[in-house]
Amino acid sequence: MKYLLTFLLFLISISPSSAGDPEKGKKLFYGEISFSNGGLQCMACHRVDGSGGTLGPDLTKVFTRYGGADGLKAVLQGSTAFPTMTPVYRDANLTEEEISHLTAFFEKAAQEGRETGRFPVGYFFFAFGGFLGLVFISQVVWGGRLKSVRRKLVESSRY
């Protein structure tokens, strides 16, 4: 009995779900490997290190935000952790192995990556500059148009 218990503890300690592979986690995040229960890939809404979707928050530093592996695993285990994710993962919960791989990926990303904002400020200045350019061009091309129309209306009303 003692040997059987020792053997079972040994098997539990080397199980694949105890330590995740960051490369498999990356492939799960980006959808290169499908989730076993059919869940949507993370990158559809989230980004890591500047790559991915912008609907949800950036997950580059999510490992440190939730206090390490235990906090992150607790969030990934519950399909109702966030109300917006409930309809997507209600019937497609992640497996323990997938959670371990994603946790390892997020840990590596937190150490190596840098978090990006949802909307780069440079886009705002580019768009605002384009708007000002269009206003300037419209004034150059059509600036005298209203004056000539008004002049004709004023002259025609003098009879």
If pLDDT is split at 50, 70 and 90, which confidence band does 138 have?
confident
Give the C-alpha separation, 106 to 4, whole Å. 36
pLDDT at 16: 42
- Is 155 exposed, middle or buried, given 0-12, 13-18 or 19+ CB atoms closer than 10 A? exposed
Q: Are 47 and 53 in contact (CB under 8 A)?
A: yes
Q: Please determine, for residue 17, whether its predicted confidence score (pLDDT) is greater than 50.
A: no
Token pair 């053997």 is at which residue?
Answer: 7
If pLDDT is split at 50, 70 and 90, which confidence band does 124 have?
confident
pLDDT at 10: 53
pTM reported for the whole predicted model: 0.61
CA distances from 29 to 35, 51, 73 (A): 9, 11, 15
Q: Which CATH number among 1.10.1060.10, 1.10.30.50, 1.10.760.10, 1.20.1250.20 corresponds to the domain 20-112?
A: 1.10.760.10
Residue 52 phi, psi (nearest 5): 135, -165
Q: Are 115 and 59 in contact (CB under 8 A)?
A: no
